[in-house]
Chain A
């Protein structure tokens, strides 16, 4: 379970998160919606340990481990996976090499054996096929020259290969065409399990038709200002954020 308590964080002296309070039990999917600039991506970066963010107050833990005390790669080895809003391009490192390096690093960190090459390739072929990713693309530099939608699919492939315990999806639906949205959602839903929690950041209620959340939260001006069931997303779609932006200010 992911537990965030009174989390405050700032970037370059500017407070962005101002007391985030959130708990996502294992097995549940929670959605976070909120206006541009509310701090949604900041929250995902602070949880995953990106540099440049200063936590000034509060705590965050995953299954009892204090996330904020760990290096980013250690958080990943504990099972935290962030699907980036803007996935990076890594020239010169084929996707397959990148994923195998990551998988083996995580396994080593957990005291497990490295995965053998044939088993890895078999797994990669199977997962790529499910996401309708051309296997040849995995031999090219990771994300280099890929379209926005292809990059998002590649995020889901990495997620499927690394099989994390907790997923944060930061606007994984943005830039996806209708078919890709379905494929990606199926990829995410395939990972739903009683042990696994998910935090789905999105601007569009439509994604939540495919990935059905247990709870929906509104993040505005650095705080969770409202929480509810899936119906909250429908209401936001109809009414916008006006009332919450006012309340948070």
Chain B
């Protein structure tokens, strides 16, 4: 293989080792999460204390309010969710869980990280150009977005579009790499039906992304042309169709939710069996449920457009399909609960975050049924009810499941254990404060607060929402402060945490626990494993130990 002599630059910066690239994704993604969190803090302060100067920011003008919500949304989804759940966990776990020494294309892998980083650079440049950063919402509907005169923002939006497109290319390169790696580099004995669920989730997510993003990539170039060259693809003034962009966006946008959700559920499905000492309930059932959900996700997109001028005859089919798509996830929820049933549950930090994820996501799913039906949606559209609903899906996905994974694989990644007490404190503070943010916002939404109104006191009927806004903002501050526990735990334990003696501290069954902690740089395994059974053999009666690793010969 012939690697150059290891030095600082090729070990930590220009590495092509999948584990280092995963760590780069992880740390960069967490930094971006801090940025997205800060923006949320600023606009929540504005909502709770309208017009007052926000500490560490200043007075929020209506224009900058629009920018803050736009950037918060796009950063959390494109620059936090995808890089952490796909870039971070995908890169780290795919080769380790299938027994490979690296990705199929290590240089392509590095290139996808560097493209991600380049997209961040472009995004940050967009903050400082004249006329300010992107505004107009993360969904970016024309005509507002397609004509610079309507938002008053010029280069900021153009750069934002370029940054998003770069990030998409990065994920695309990653997806091609993941799919090829899993198809061609599984160790002997590891058939597809013995793959850990995490790997399946990464595969399905990659496929969903690759098949849904194409039209939007074309659409984003058309949007750029509208803004810069004067075409009118999306501008009705020149004969264009603004609804066309909404179709392109949501044809991508709905599968995109599952691109994030599936790897998050992958974490959940790895953590639950290990910490409950039970086999995952219904491996094949779950797999087909996710395949079905993935396929259905391409035909539900118009439920985002019920009130934007759709043919009424199309409303019914899309509402019905949307309700049908909740069936596979109901199946998933039951399977997860069945996995816990009569398990030997230990409430470690990763397990707490996983249980938290399942519980919160359930609320997100149920409120999704209410707005998935067109009758409910027409009232709740664009209110804080929607905000609360999708935060009950997206926060469990990108924050709770992600943190669960970070804790669960922490001993493998760094060879040291995180601090359990700090971890548990981190969980309880995060989970409680999270609910205190968004339960009040359901109420705010029912009272009719539209998501783009920066100052509720300007409308008489919204004045009564103020107490709820205040609770939500205080809770957000607690949530953000609680993350300092995590940051401290993460970096302190990296150097000072208890050294992990065993390769397999959780007594788990999947292949990543066979190699040393941390795995060997460039090569992973000391002893190349072969696979003899499925991934979730816990508490099998014929053995004295309560786990039966995939690599152990019978």
Q: Do A and B come from one complex?
A: no
